[in-house]
C-alpha cells in the first residue's frame, strides 16, 4: 500500500498494487498520481474539446500499427 495525493484535486489516497499507477509510483515516488475522478474528468474535457471519440481511435488504431 502507498499513500499518495492527487496532483489535481489534492485529496489523499491509499492505493494498492491493483491500482494502474501503483508500479509507477513505487518505482518513482516523485511521479504524480491522478485519481480516477480527475482522470475521467480530463478525458471527458478532451473529448468535448477535440470532438474525437475515444472508441473511434481504438477502432482505427489497428490500421496504423
Check pLDDT > 80 for residue 9.
Answer: yes
Cα–Cα dist 35/8, whole Å: 8
Residue 64: per-residue pLDDT: 65
Average pLDDT over residues 14-30: 95
- Look at residue 7 and tell me whether its pLDDT is greater than 90: yes
Higher pLDDT, 2 or 52: 2
Task: Take residue 56 and report the three cell numbers written for it.
Answer: 473511434
User: Per residue in 28-63, pLDDT tens?
Assistant: 999 999 999 999 999 888 878 877 776 777 666 666
pLDDT at 43 (0 to 100):
86
Amino acid at each position: 500500500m502507498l499513500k499518495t495525493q492527487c496532483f489535481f484535486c489534492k485529496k489523499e489516497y491509499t492505493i494498492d498494487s491493483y491500482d494502474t499507477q501503483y508500479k509507477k509510483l513505487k518505482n518513482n515516488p516523485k511521479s504524480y498520481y491522478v485519481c480516477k475522478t480527475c482522470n475521467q474528468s480530463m478525458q471527458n474535457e478532451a473529448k468535448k474539446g477535440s470532438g474525437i471519440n475515444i472508441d473511434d481511435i481504438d477502432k482505427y488504431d489497428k490500421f496504423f500499427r
